């Protein structure tokens, strides 16, 4: 079937309708479903259940203390920065750091780092050769892992769901080691908007200190969802070089330096760019929360897997967040 599909799709003059048929046959929504205004018409429909569940569990999902402030900042500016110890017990950060530093000592990971430091390029699914992913391009995590537990914890999910105003999906989970490289900014090191959904909440947890030389995350507050150079769903959102710099003065751009434990919450439908370390390296953990209508979910592009849990998850928001994730083992 896969060979037949390949032959048909490569046939001269194949229609968009035929491509759409094959995608639907595979359980994917065709690309045209993510074009405006079609996407904004069906998006509320597929999120009805998520909104209903959020209302049903309103009491336990009500944000507390600092969580309220973070959600308010996200709505107003698209970004909020705290220290992880302000939301979770201090031992959480220490446990994650210890575990991650051990992963960096794995011979294969050390070889990848040395290759890039020597000017080489490692093969990568995303072409971002300068990022070492200790768990591979499609990582597999244990549900009991500290990183997974943090991402599905009450404080984090109350913020994520509160900002989305519905139960949300955890669509990506990854550890990045950005190696210092020379040359111009590449790929996500350039200003861009993410294309997966109308609301995309990402968290970046710095596991080592980040200064202006080793790749701080950068964001332009207030550009989430609306504003100039409107976001396109399911397509590249990279303006031509210099366009963003001309529209937004340096005073409007936020450079997110911080100590280890700094936790950045941001809506990446707003303009942002990843760090480009000039020296040293940047080590961080990244998680992504979207609605049920995100491009990655509806196109079946799984970005990580979980090991099959021993027992069912009792926290409803956490159970919903990973319900569409593939399980292995």
Give me the mean pLDDT over the 77-94 stretch.
Answer: 94
Give me the mean pLDDT over the 82-96 stretch.
Answer: 93
The pLDDT of residue 228 is 61
How far is Cα 315 from Cα 89, in angstroms, rounded to an integer?
19
DSSP letters for 56-94: HTHHHHS--THHHHHHHHHHHHSEEEEEGGGTS-HHHHH
Percent of the chain with pLDDT over 90: 61
pLDDT at 227 over 80: no
How far is Cα 145 from Cα 147, in angstroms, rounded to an integer?
5
In the block, tokens 């060979």 appear at 3
Contact 191, 299 (CB under 8 A): no
The pLDDT of residue 1 is 47
Q: How many helices (H) and strands (E) does the chain have?
A: 13, 12
Q: What pTM does this model have?
A: 0.90
pLDDT at 21 over 70: no
Phi and psi angles of residue 168, each rounded to the nearest 5 degrees, phi first: -125, 170
How far is Cα 323 from Cα 326, in angstroms, rounded to an integer?
8
Domain boundaries, the chain: 28-93+140-328
Chain length of the chain: 329
Contact 100, 145 (CB under 8 A): no
Band of pLDDT at residue 28, cut at 50, 70 and 90: low
The pLDDT of residue 8 is 46
Band of pLDDT at residue 234, cut at 50, 70 and 90: low
Band of pLDDT at residue 55, cut at 50, 70 and 90: very high
Band of pLDDT at residue 233, cut at 50, 70 and 90: low
The CATH code of domain 28-93+140-328 reads 2.60.120.620
Tens digit of each residue's pLDDT (9 = 90 or more) over 127-186: 788 899 999 888 999 988 999 999 999 999 999 999 999 999 999 999 999 999 888 888
């Amino acid at each position: 079937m896969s060979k037949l599909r390949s032959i048909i799709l490569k046939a001269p003059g194949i229609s968009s309708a035929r491509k759409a048929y094959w995608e639907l046959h595979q359980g994917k929504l065709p690309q045209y479903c993510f074009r405006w205004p079609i996407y904004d018409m069906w998006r509320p429909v597929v999120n009805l259940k998520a909104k209903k569940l959020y209302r049903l569990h309103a009491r336990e999902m009500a944000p507390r203390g600092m969580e309220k402030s973070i959600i308010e900042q996200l709505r107003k500016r698209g970004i909020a920065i705290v220290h992880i110890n302000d939301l979770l017990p201090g031992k959480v950060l220490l446990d994650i750091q210890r575990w991650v530093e051990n992963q960096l000592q794995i011979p294969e990971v050390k070889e990848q780092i040395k290759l890039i430091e020597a000017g080489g390029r490692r093969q990568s699914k995303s072409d971002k050769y300068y990022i070492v992913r200790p768990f591979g391009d499609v990582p597999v995590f244990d549900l009991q892992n500290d990183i997974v537990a943090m991402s599905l914890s009450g404080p984090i999910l109350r913020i994520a769901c509160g900002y989305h105003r519905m139960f949300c999906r955890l669509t990506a989970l990854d550890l990045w080691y950005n190696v210092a490289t020379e040359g111009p900014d590449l790929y996500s090191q350039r200003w861009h908007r993410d294309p997966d959904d109308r609301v995309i909440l990402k968290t970046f947890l710095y596991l080592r200190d980040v200064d202006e030389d080793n790749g701080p995350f950068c964001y332009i507050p207030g550009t989430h969802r609306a504003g100039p150079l409107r976001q396109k769903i399911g397509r590249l959102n990279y303006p031509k070089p210099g366009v963003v710099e001309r529209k937004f003065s340096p005073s409007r751009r936020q450079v997110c330096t911080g100590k280890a434990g700094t936790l950045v919450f941001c809506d990446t439908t707003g303009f942002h760019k990843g760090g480009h370390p000039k020296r040293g390296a940047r080590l961080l953990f990244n998680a992504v929360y979207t609605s049920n209508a995100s491009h990655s979910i509806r196109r079946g592009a799984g970005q990580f897997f979980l090991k099959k849990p021993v027992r069912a998850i009792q926290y409803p928001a956490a159970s919903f967040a990973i319900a569409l994730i593939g399980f292995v083992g």
